[in-house]
Amino acid sequence: MFEKILNLLNGIKNSNNPFKYFVSRLFVNFPNFFRKFYFNRKNYKLHMSPSAIAAGMFVEGEKHLNFDEDLLKSLIRHNDYFIDVGANIGHIPISLIKNLPSININCFAIEANPNTFKILNDNIRLNKLNIKSINCAVGHVDNSTVKFQDSVSDDCNSVITDKMLNTDNKNLYVVEHKNEFIVEVKTLDSLVDHFSIPNNIRLIKIDTEGYEFFVLKGGKNILQKTEMIYFEYWEKLTNKYDYKYKEIFFFLRNLNFEIYEIPEHLDTKNFDIDSLKLITETPSFNENQNLLAINKRLL
């Protein structure tokens, strides 16, 4: 208890918005009292939920985590299909639809953590949107199961491996968790059948904390009909699952994708795909790097 109080006081002291920080700690630690409360964010609403993402957005304002929203908004067109793997509380598909009201977007949200999935659906209902969602992990073996984290840092939850239990391994980025779930695994290919997606997919966003390669391996068929994939790569994440960039890059290139770096300070308002840097040499991934894979056969 003393440690929690000390952390709260330090957080308040270091925050640019001390009052909002204090309120955010309340709805994270006492969610039952805040079930019907929400806050506004760039034309959409989010519940005050026990979520690190929601708390961060509430405290820091509209600029917090807005890069992905703005970038993906610049890539979406009328009647496009968008799949969000690792959708968390649903802010990205919700923001796409609410901030592009003049075009029709077909959004699908996939989240493995059951607690986070409930918040995702609550946010979809709050915004009165037609976003299809499913609670499962996405991997390369259909109808299997995995262990999945349930951490306070819900934006960093991931599939659990034995390697992650070695807390002395400094080459891994792992968040502490007290609870875990056994979660069903679906492949991308089976999910496309589940959602009855009839057309090419414009964009798949994958944020699975290092598990991206296994997500992609389960989608060999649908990836041939996918125009773009937005994902991240960081060796401290992928080391949890014992693969390197060469494996995931070779896999994508074998499916006619070219892979581009997304600069940290990209001007998303004047974004042009042709301005991106194509990865042709041996890259260094000492830090988390956002990437865009483009299917050169379709674009």
| CATH code for the domain in which residue 136 is found | 3.40.50.150
Give the per-residue pLDDT at 273.
85
Residue 22: domain span: 1-62
Whether residue 185 is found in the same domain as residue 277? yes
Q: Which of 62, 90, 105 is the last residue of a domain?
A: 62
Q: Which of 28, 46, 62 is the last residue of a domain?
A: 62
- Length of the chain counted residue by residue: 299
The CA angle 61-110-232, to the nearest 5 degrees, is 65
Whether residue 47 is found in the same domain as residue 3? yes
Tally of structural domains, the chain: 2
Whether residue 148 is found in the same domain as residue 21? no
Where in the chain does DSSP place strands (E)?
Answer: 38-41, 44-47, 80-85, 105-111, 132-135, 137-138, 144-150, 179-186, 201-206, 226-233, 257-261, 277-278, 289-295
Whether residue 288 is found in the same domain as residue 165? yes
Count of Cβ atoms closer than 10 Å to residue 259 Cβ: 21
Whether residue 291 is found in the same domain as residue 214? yes
**Reduced DSSP (H G I as helix, E B as strand, rest coil) percent helix, strand, coil of the chain, to 5:** 40, 25, 35
Whether residue 163 is found in the same domain as residue 264? yes
Give the per-residue pLDDT at 167.
64
| Closest to 119 measured CA to CA, from 106, 135, 103 | 135
Whether residue 17 is found in the same domain as residue 50? yes
Whether residue 47 is found in the same domain as residue 152? no
What is the Cα–Cα distance from 182 to 191, expressed in whole angstroms? 19
The tens place of each residue's pLDDT in the chain, 299 residues long, gives 555 555 655 667 678 888 898 888 888 888 888 989 999 998 999 999 999 999 999 999 988 999 999 999 999 999 999 999 999 999 999 999 999 999 999 999 999 999 999 999 999 999 999 999 999 999 999 999 999 999 988 999 999 998 888 767 778 898 888 899 999 999 999 999 999 998 899 999 999 999 999 999 999 999 999 999 999 999 999 999 999 999 999 999 999 999 999 998 888 888 888 889 999 877 778 889 999 999 999 97
Give the per-residue pLDDT at 43.
92
Whether residue 188 is found in the same domain as residue 152? yes
- Answer for the pair 119, 45: CB distance below 8 angstroms, yes or no: no
Whether residue 172 is found in the same domain as residue 271? yes
Q: Which of 62, 91, 109 is the last residue of a domain?
A: 62
Whether residue 50 is found in the same domain as residue 174? no
Whether residue 158 is found in the same domain as residue 230? yes
